[in-house]
Amino acid sequence: MSERLFIRLGSHQEQACSWLVWSEQEQEIIASGELSDAASLASLKDRVGNRPVDILVPTSSMMLTDINLPEKGQRQALRALPFLMEESLATSIEDMHFVVGPRTGEKLSVIAVAHQQMQDWLTWLSDAGLKAKRLVPDCLALPLDECQWAAIRCGDELVIRTGQGTGVSLPEAWQSFALPKLMASTPTGDESINVASYSQELAFASANIEHKPLELPMLVFAKGILNAPVNLLSGVYKPKREYSKQLLLWKNSAIICVLAIVLALVNKGLDIRQLNQATMELNQQSESIFKSVSPSTQRVVNIHSQMGAMLKSMQGQGGGVAFFEMLSGLQTAFKQIPDLKPNSLRFDANRNEIRMQITANSYGQIEQFKDLVSKDFEIDTGAMNSNEDKVTSTVTVRSK
């Protein structure tokens, strides 16, 4: 939206406040007026909605000056800036807000305004529901327009911009004696000061007056505020970044999405944990079976390499696959009778058979093992011997 609201505040709450709504697109004034005091600012809220506004504040409420500050060592000097200005201030530097303006040669413009005054302005705006985008001294919103000075009359005040970052506000009673001294203190050599005049009948002795189009003072300020070199909303008064309304509307949705992602990751983590647990159990079962078919192996470090080594030690070079196929077929029987263990195992690749000496707790377990294995293999059992509550037998298993 191209419409913007400009407000010029007073130094005190009971002073009048001027305002203007300007359309940048149409280049015309939409509305303007004057409020009796700062307490009436709330009436402007409907005109601006929730958008920030540009605020002009009176130059008379602060000090704008130049100080000599060489560019070399500027960073260290800026830290000591309040102390450099201490003698020219009537109040303690702890009570003042300092803002650095533009530099001209070795001169740096500085603005000093009381913290209490800044807080008053911001409180008035906050109470009215208005957000300040920038806070600019009114004199620095006057366009210089290639002149050294710029001036405009606002009521009984003469607002003068005396440089890129300096200016004054002179009450009518002071103008006759303060203005000549101000001009005399401005170094121009033999040349006269060029003054851009935005009001009628402005008199500056020994100055060149360049008359500009006569417009409402608020319109002149509105057109120049975007090019103002300073914004008093800096340092401790710098506005905090705010999220747009659109982002706030999506806040709850974003929270739900984040929670869904977190829950999905947690669920995925649980699945991975369960998978790792299952893999561990499978590895343990594989090691248990390997140890059961190779009783001489006490420790399994790498089951794949140890199986390969055992294959090489078996008879025949082509029986490895057949051996593991038969061993896999015997796995179910060994699992169903966990008390039955093989003491020794030998594979005959030529005859494609496994010969085992097994030990069980009873004759019945050996018979049960025989019944289970005979479903897939031919099995022959030798004599069964009983010794110390254990029964041993020799078993020969062949493929059908």
CA-CA distance, 225 to 230, in Å (whole number)?
Answer: 10
CATH of region 3-240, choose from 3.40.50.300, 3.40.640.10, 3.30.420.380, 3.90.1150.10: 3.30.420.380
Q: Where are the domains of the chain?
A: 3-240, 244-294, 319-399
Round the average pLDDT of the chain to a whole number and report it. Answer: 83
Composition of the chain by helix, strand, coil, percent to 5: 40, 30, 30
Report which residue type is found at 247.
L
Q: Which helix (H) or strand (E) holds 393?
A: strand 390-399
Distance CA 55, CA 32 (A): 14
Query: pTM for the complete prediction?
Result: 0.60
Provide CB contacts within 8 A for 52, sequence distance 6+: 131, 132, 133
Query: pLDDT band for position 373 (50/70/90)?
Result: confident
**Amino acid present at 286:** S
* Residue 160 one-letter amino acid: I
Contact of 30 with 6, CB cutoff 8 Å: no
Does the pLDDT at position 318 exceed 50?
no
128 band by pLDDT with thresholds 50, 70 and 90: very high
Task: Please determine whether the domains at 3-240 and 319-399 fall in the same fold group of CATH.
Answer: no
Q: Residue 314 class from Cβ within 10 Å (0-12 exposed, 13-18 middle, 19+ buried)? A: middle
Query: What is the mean predicted confidence (pLDDT) over 286-310?
Result: 66
Segment 6-54, tens digit of pLDDT: 999 999 999 999 999 988 788 888 889 999 999 999 999 888 776 779 9
Q: What is the pLDDT of residue 294?
A: 64
Nearest to 123 by CA among 111, 112, 132, 136: 132
Task: Give the architecture (CATH level 2) of 319-399.
Answer: 2-Layer Sandwich (3.30)
Mean pLDDT value of segment 368-382: 87
CA dihedral in degrees (220, 221, 226, 227; nearest 10)? 80
**pLDDT above 80: residue 312:** no
- For the stretch 139-192, pLDDT in tens is 999 999 989 999 999 988 999 999 999 999 999 888 888 888 888 887 765 678
**What is the predicted pLDDT for the residue at 278?**
75
Question: Whole-angstrom Cα distance, residue 58 to residue 277?
Answer: 75
Q: State the pLDDT confidence band at 328, using cuts at 50, 70 and 90.
A: confident
H or E segment and range at residue 21: strand 17-23
> What digits encode the pLDDT tens for the residues 78-121?
676 777 777 777 788 888 899 988 988 888 889 999 999 999 99
Alpha carbons 150 and 133: distance in angstroms, whole number: 24
- Rounded to an integer, the average pLDDT of 317-343 is 79
pLDDT tens-digit readout, 209-264? 999 988 999 999 998 998 899 999 998 998 876 554 555 556 667 788 888 888 88
